[in-house]
Amino acid sequence: MFDSLIKNLHAGDKKALARCISLAENETPGYEQILQSLHFLNAATVLGVTGPPGAGKSTLINALISELVKQGKKIAILAVDPTSPFNYGALLGDRIRMSEHFTNEQVFIRSMASRGALGGLSPKIYEAVDILKAAGFDYVIIETVGVGQSEVEIAGLADTTLVVMVPESGDEIQTIKSGVMEIADVFVVNKSDREGAETFYKNLILLAHSHAGKDWETPVVKTVAGSGQGVADLIQAIQAHQQSGQLHRKREFLLAEKALHMIQAYRTRDIDKNKLRKELAEQMTREGFNLYKYITRWYEH
């Protein structure tokens, strides 16, 4: 059914690539054939870029693209945008910062709506990443919305996770200990030309050192994304993580997380969210309504 499309995808055709992602994202009948026919031409590096709003993630990715293109690399960017529960379209405003790369043959940029996913990642992001890997990219960069539990979700998808922060995050240094240390493979102090950057940088280094493992200590890299300062150092840190033993130990975890998300999506594929909302609106007004009893219909069989 999709033989010609799959062939063109593996040949690196961008139109075929965009079409394949759309088919998977919209769950067009037969799209499973595409996913089951994927084979990977190279071991693409999947980078997750997360951090609070205003940290300059899009600008940093723009600078990374410029540097990697100079090295002859092919890069794909998946930007996961927030969506309202009432409108599932992606918001493309932040992608304007990457506009200089839109016509570059070495670069592919795609925005995906989070579609109400609580963690901030699109439910179809796993399929999209594999489709991009099959198209022969060297790097697949995923930018999250930086809200909720997106940091946790990105760790279950990316080979290397960058946590981008700014000097103004200094007051939040204590909250970092509660979970992000386990997620970050590389810390980036962006906008490091601002006041307080050096103190924040040193505090992060101390924190990373206190959580260091036997063979990996999370590096802290200072950047000024707008001017490209520190980006070459950041790429070196990414490559160092790729070459460390950390990645091999992470593979099993990544594959299990990926499989779990796919199973969850498969098990809930027949649930119509709009129909569910209407039915609940009716049921909740009835005396004795209990949500826990109501949902048993989906797991009793």
pLDDT score recorded for residue 295? 85
Instruction: Give the least confident one: 76-85, 91-100, 128-137, 250-259.
Output: 91-100
Instruction: Give the least confident one: 38-42, 170-174, 282-286.
Output: 170-174
pLDDT score recorded for residue 96? 53
Q: Is pLDDT of 2 > 50? A: yes
Does this model's pTM top 0.75?
yes
Query: Cα(100)–Cα(258) distance, rounded to whole angstroms?
Result: 33
What is the token pair recorded at 205?
Answer: 């280094």
Helix axes 14-25, 125-134, angle to 10 degrees: 160
Contacts of 110 (CB under 8 A, 6+ apart): 18, 21, 76, 77, 78, 79, 128
Query: In 10 A of CB 301, how many CB atoms?
Result: 5
All domains in the chain, ordered by first residue: 1-38 (no CATH), 40-267 (3.40.50.300), 272-301 (no CATH)
In order of 78, 198, 293, the CA distances from 52 in angstroms are 18, 19, 38
pLDDT score recorded for residue 98? 63
Helix axes 246-267, 231-243, angle to 10 degrees: 90
Query: Cα(108)–Cα(101) distance, rounded to whole angstroms?
Result: 8
Q: Is pLDDT of 65 > 90? A: yes
Query: How many residues are listed for the chain in this entry?
Result: 301
What is the token pair recorded at 1?
Answer: 């059914």
List % helix, strand, coil for the chain (3-state, nearest 5): 50, 15, 35
Query: Cα(193)–Cα(191) distance, rounded to whole angstroms?
Result: 5
Contact 216, 248 (CB under 8 A): no
Query: Cα(76)–Cα(79) distance, rounded to whole angstroms?
Result: 10
Q: Residues 154-191: pLDDT tens digits?
A: 767 888 989 898 887 655 555 565 566 677 889 999 99
Report which DSSP code applies to 66: H
Give the confidence band of 35 by pLDDT, cuts at 50, 70, 90. very high
Supply angle C-alpha 41, 47, 48, rounded to 5. Answer: 140
Evaluated on CA atoms 11, 17, 21, 24, the torsion sign reads negative
pLDDT score recorded for residue 134? 93
Contacts from 243-248 at CB under 8 Å and sequence distance 24+? 244/215, 244/216, 245/215, 245/216, 246/185, 246/213, 246/215, 246/216, 247/159, 247/160
Query: In 10 A of CB 247, how many CB atoms?
Result: 16
